[in-house]
């Protein structure tokens, strides 16, 4: 690892401190919400980098756990503890349900879809837009594959009197 002071300086330069004392990394987050920082040419989790800069390497089978705040983007070393993987996975903190979808629509009771046996809440607006886009693409593919069908008049039948003669 680079000079630990340099890594800590970079973490602090791109972080803001909230009212709970968390040092929230703002530059880049991975899809799971953890701080993502580049060290020695590879992406690393910010909380792990902060721990290593302050305390040294993390042993095999060990995890850095957010013991105080449980915020994934927090890199404050005093909020972190080193635990075994089994202890880390056994700690299940309750999460508050999201109030907004990834595109910013409110997840109110009127705008939430729960389909099948899944307990996952989906945004009705996003799902409707996705379905509409899928249907437009489907119809465009159908028109491209069968251009001769597009010119056929739908609903035109021969008179019954001419059938069988």
Domains assigned to the chain? 4-94 (3.90.75), 96-148 (no CATH)
Whole-angstrom Cα distance, residue 14 to residue 30? 15
Whole-angstrom Cα distance, residue 73 to residue 24? 5
Which single residue is written with the structure tokens 């886009």?
133
pLDDT at position 161 is: 54
What confidence category does residue 1 fall into, taking pLDDT thresholds of 50, 70 and 90?
low
The length of the chain, given as a count of residues: 165
Q: Would you say residue 79 has pLDDT above 60?
A: yes
Per-residue model confidence as pLDDT tens digits over 146-158:
766 545 555 555 5
Whole-angstrom Cα distance, residue 34 to residue 22? 13
What confidence category does residue 119 fall into, taking pLDDT thresholds of 50, 70 and 90?
confident
Whole-angstrom Cα distance, residue 47 to residue 5? 15
First to last CA, the chain: 90
Rounded mean pLDDT of 69-80?
Answer: 88
* Cβ atoms < 10 Å from Cβ of 80: 22
Beta strands in the chain (DSSP E): 15-17, 23-25, 36-39, 42-45, 62-66, 80-84, 112-113, 122-123
Q: What is the value of pTM for the model shown? A: 0.55
Rounded (10°) CA dihedral 127, 130, 131, 134: -160
Q: Would you say residue 25 has pLDDT above 60?
A: yes
* Cβ atoms < 10 Å from Cβ of 40: 8
Pick from 106, 100, 82, 76: nearest CA to 12: 76
pLDDT at position 22 is: 87
Per-residue model confidence as pLDDT tens digits over 90-101:
876 666 678 888
């Amino acid at each position: 690892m680079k000079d630990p002071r340099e890594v800590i300086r970079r973490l602090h330069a791109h972080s803001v401190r909230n009212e709970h004392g968390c040092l929230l990394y703002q530059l880049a987050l991975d899809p799971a919400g953890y701080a993502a920082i580049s060290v020695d040419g590879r992406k690393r989790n910010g909380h792990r980098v902060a721990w290593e800069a302050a305390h040294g390497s993390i042993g095999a089978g060990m995890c850095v756990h957010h013991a105080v705040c449980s915020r994934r983007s927090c890199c404050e070393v005093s909020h972190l503890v080193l635990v075994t993987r089994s202890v880390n996975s056994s700690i299940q903190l309750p999460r508050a349900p999201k109030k907004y979808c990834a595109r910013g629509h409110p997840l109110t009771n009127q705008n939430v879809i729960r389909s099948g046996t899944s307990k996952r809440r989906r945004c009705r607006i996003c799902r409707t837009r996705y379905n509409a886009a899928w249907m437009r693409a489907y119809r465009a593919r159908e028109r491209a594959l069968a251009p001769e069908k597009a010119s056929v008049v739908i609903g035109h039948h021969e008179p019954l009197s001419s059938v069988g003669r």
